[in-house]
Amino acid sequence: MKRLISLIVGLLAICGLLAYAGHHLQASSGSTGSKVLNLYNWGDYIDPQLLTKFQKETSYHVNVETFDSNEAMYTKIKQGGTHYDLAIPSEYMVAKMKRAHLLQPLDRSRLTGLRNYDPQFMGRSFDPTNRYSLPYFWGTLGIIYNDRFVRPGTVNHWQDLWSGKYRDKIMLIDSARDIMGMALASQGQSMNTTNPQKLRAAEQKLTRLAPNVKATVADEIKMYMTQNEAPLAVDWSGEAAEMLANNHHLHYVVPSEGSNLWIDNLVIPKTAQHDRAIYAFLNFMAEPKNAAQNAEYVGYATPNRAAKALLPAAVRDDHQFYPNTTTLHHLEVYRDLSPTQVGLYNDLYLEFKMHH
């Protein structure tokens, strides 16, 4: 018994020491110090050289923590105990965080780079006056095809996927909103519709696509497409950019009749503590040179008009990732629907998946 007690006391002492050392280390590395900026970002979603440059110019040290889904980020910020100064949620999550009072409004008088942004990506439904968010990167939903199996130019529209030629040839991204949205867009409907009849019709249309669907998978699509496992896939442009970089037979098409426009945004969570560093960083990232460098590193489309002009012509004029104006006009940002409405999308999507 005595030995047990001394063991427990010893363990407690070690725990205490570790806690003290941890606190000390954290203070010296600066996540709670004053010359720092705590950035909560997706993995590998910023050029590390820019962070060094920012530190050199402003002497603020940037601590980066990463998340892998909007929901994970939301939960962590909502639970508190974190000190994130900036986070990068997608558009629907901006609306959700706004409603949950997790965001601080931007002080426009302290932003110097606002005019660099393309108005197309400002003032969208999730934040109509950009009171809380600045666009970081944007992209689309589209079709990826492999030119070893599909003749270039034969797949341009959603409807082409329904062709009998592509039996058991298509991979879909496992996402209710996107796949239901694709069916809606193919019928000329809005991807934000809440009309139950239209949604039901979209589900019935999807069911007719079932024989052509090889698999409904998540991130693995990248790996499968790179390995020539399937001729066609429906996925987001960001994922497509990675696939195209690894396999030169792959191409990306945004159907001109309509698709989703997604925007990742910089926001200031309620937990932010380093005001000056935040605005220094927002202005630094809005500078065309920096935004262009970041866009080249990440490979996504930049909403910064001045930065886009600085990109190499081959990137700038690539209609796969910077679609022409007509297509751009038909793109829709997902509206933040109520839980019951999202529930309807999910139920119908699940029914479609059961029909495989």
Partner 1 sequence: MTKRRTWTYFLPYGLWLALFVIAPVALIIYQSFFDLGHHFTLSNYSTYFQSATYLKMTANSVWYAFLITLFTGLISYPTAYFIHQLKHRQFWLLLVILPTWINILLKAYAFIGIFSQAGLANQFLTFIGIGPQQILFTNASFIFVATYIQIPFMILPIYNALDDLNPAFINASRDLGASNWQTFRHVIFPLTLPGVKAGIQAVFIPSLSLFMLTRLIGGNKVITLGTAIEEHFLTTMNWGMGSTIGVILIVAMIVVMLLTGDQKREGGTPR
* CB-side neighbour CA atoms (13 Å) of 235: 30
Considering only residues 13, 18, 21, 350, which one is a binding residue for partner 1 as defined by CB under 8 A?
350
Using the minimum distance from each CB to partner 1, give the nearer residue, 114 or 342. 342
Decide if residue 317 touches partner 1 (CB under 8 A): no
The minimum distance between CB 168 and partner 1, in angstroms, equals 7
Answer yes or no: are the C-beta atoms of 231 and 160 closer than 8 Å: no
Q: How far is the CB of 179 from partner 1 (least distance, A)?
A: 11
Overall size of the chain counted in residues: 356
For residue 178, what are its two tokens? 């996107």
Q: Which residues contact 46 (CB under 8 A, 6 or more apart)?
A: 39, 64, 294, 297, 298
Contact status, residue 193 vs residue 186, Cβ threshold 8 Å: no
| Candidate residues 15, 218, 245, 309; the one interacting with partner 1 per rule CB under 8 A | 218
Which run of H or E residues covers position 97? helix 91-99
353 belongs to the binding site for partner 1 (CB under 8 A)? yes
Q: Which is nearer to partner 1, 209 or 291 (CB)?
A: 209
Q: Does 249 bind partner 1 (CB under 8 A)?
A: no
* Residue 57 binds to partner 1 (criterion: CB under 8 A): no
| Site for partner 1 contains 165 (CB under 8 A) | no
Stretch that binds partner 1, among 224-232, 251-259, 313-321, 325-333 (CB under 8 A): 224-232
End-to-end CA distance of the chain: 62
Q: Closer to partner 1 at the Cβ: 23 or 356?
A: 356
Told to check if 339 binds partner 1 by CB under 8 A, we report: yes
One of 77, 102, 144, 176 touching partner 1 (CB under 8 A): 176
**CA distance linking residue 289 with residue 310, whole number of Å:** 7
Do 320 and 251 form a contact (C-beta atoms < 8 A)? yes
- Binding part of the chain for partner 1, among 28-36, 171-179, 301-309, 314-322 by CB under 8 A, reads 171-179
Q: What type of residue is 50?
A: L
| Among 26, 163, 227, 324, interactor with partner 1 by CB under 8 A | 227
| Binding residue numbers for spermidine | 92
Q: Which residue has the tokens 């069916």?
A: 183
Q: Which of 98, 124, 205, 214 binds partner 1 (CB under 8 A)?
A: 214
Region of 130 on the Ramachandran plot (φ > 0 left; ψ -120 to 50 alpha; else beta): left
Strand ranges in the chain using DSSP code E only, listed in sequence order:
36-42, 61-67, 86-87, 103-104, 133-146, 170-173, 213-217, 232-236, 250-253, 259-269, 331-332
User: In the complex, what is the shortest distance from the CB of residue 146 to partner 1, in angstroms, rounded to a whole number?
Assistant: 11
Q: How far is the CB of 227 from partner 1 (least distance, A)?
A: 6
Question: Among residues 217, 310, 315, 337, which is the contact residue for partner 1, using CB under 8 A?
Answer: 217
Q: Give the residues lining the site for partner 1 (CB under 8 A).
A: 69, 71, 168, 171, 174-176, 214-218, 220, 223-224, 227-229, 339-340, 342-343, 346-347, 350-351, 353-354, 356
